[in-house]
Structure 1
Amino acid sequence: MFGGGGGMNPRKLNQMMEQMGIDIEELDAEEIVIRTGDEELVFDQPDVQRMDAQGQATYTITGEPETRAAGEEATPLGAGDGASDAGTGSESGGDGIPEADVEIVAQRTDASEDDAREALEETDGDLADAVSRLE
C-alpha cells in the first residue's frame, strides 16, 4: 500500500498502524463501477483494500478499468469473449431485458423470474439496482 514504505520494515509499519488505530482489510471484490456524468469506469477483478482510521473508511482500488459511455449496457461476467451466445439463455424477452440478467437477479435475490424481470424493467436493466430493490 505504501510502495515499500520508504525502506521501513513492513512488520514495523503494521505495528505503527495498529498503534494509531488504523485497520486494513483486503476485500474480495468481483467488480467495481465508478459512474460519472458521461462515462463509467469498470474494474473487473480489482484489488480492493478498506482502511479504517478514526472512524472513517477509505477504499483503495487497484486495477485497470474499462471505460464505457454512461448508460451503456454492461457485459455480464464471462461474456464478450467472442464465443457465441447460442444456447446460453442470453436471448432477450419481448421487453428487451436479457434472460441472463433476469436469471442473475433471480438467483442473487431468491426472487421469481417474473419479479426479477419486473425489477429490471423498473430500473432500466440496472442489475445492481434491481437486486437492491428485491433484497
Structure 2
Amino acid sequence: MFGGGGGLNPRKMKQMMNQMGIDLDDIDAEEVIIRTADEELVFHDADVQRMDAQGQQTYQIVGEPDVRPRGEGGSADADADTDDESSDEAAEDAIPESDVDIVAGRTGASKAEAREALEATNGDLAAAVERLE
C-alpha cells in the first residue's frame, strides 16, 4: 500500500491514518495467550497495538511466542483439592519440563530454582519469571 517500508516518516504516516479515520493505540500488555484446538501461543512482553478503523478494532501482536500443547501450565481447573502430600506431588508433576526450561532460560536461574518458582506460582510462567528477577 505504501511501498518500500522506509519511505514515510512516522509523523506523516500518523497524519495519513488520522485523515482516513484510523486510530492507533499502543497497549502495555504483560502477556498475550492465543489458544487453538491443539496448542497455546504465549507472548511475554509483546508489543501490542489496537487499531480502530470504521468502528472495528484490530489487534496486532509483535513478538516471539512460546508454544505449548493445549491444557498445560496454569489452567484453573487443573488443580484438584487433595491431601497435602499428594497435592505437592501433583504440583510437581503438573509443571512441564518445557516451562521449567523457559523460566530458567529467561532468568538465568537453575532448573531447580525455576521449578520452585513455578510451583510457588501454580505454573504461571510470567509470575515465576517475575519472582526470580
SS of the aligned residue for 2:73 comes to coil
Partners of 1:5 and 1:13 within 8 A in 2: no
Task: State which of 113, 125, 132 in structure 2 corresponds to 1:84.
Answer: 113
Aligned to 1:65: 65
Q: How many residues align?
A: 91
Equivalent position of 2:121 in the other structure:
100
Percentage of pairs with the same residue: 57
Cα distance, 1:57 vs. partner?
A: 0.4
User: Cα deviation per residue 1:65-106 (whole Å; 9 max; x = unaligned)?
Assistant: 011001011479xx8323526986x65xxxxxxx634xx9xx
- From the superposition, tell whether residues 53 and 86 of structure 1 become closer, same or farther in structure 2 (CA, over 3 Å): closer
Q: Distance in 1 between matches of 2:42 and 2:26?
A: 19
Measured after TM superposition, the shift of residue 27 of structure 1 is 0.4
TM-score normalised to structure 1 length: 0.55
CA–CA distance in structure 1, aligned partners of residues 115 and 13 of structure 2: 53
Q: TM-score of the superposition, structure 2-length normalised?
A: 0.56
Provide the C-alpha distance between the structure 2 equivalents of 1:34 and 1:45, rounded to a whole number of angstroms.
Answer: 14
Gaps spanning 5+ residues in structure 1: where?
A: 92-98, 105-135
Letter in 2 for 1:69: P
Partner Cα distance (1:71, 1:52) in 2: 32
| Structure 2: runs of 5+ lacking an equivalent | 75-94, 105-110, 125-133
Alignment-derived partner of residue 23 in structure 2: 23
Q: Distance in 1 between matches of 2:60 and 2:46?
A: 10
Q: Deviations over 1:33-85 (max 9, x none)?
A: 11111111110110000000011000000000011001011479xx8323526
**1:10 Cα offset (Å):** 2.3
Q: Is the 8 A contact 2:32 2:44 kept in 1?
A: yes
Q: Which has the higher contact order (CA 8 A, sep 6+)?
A: 2
Note if 1:12 corresponds to 2:24.
no
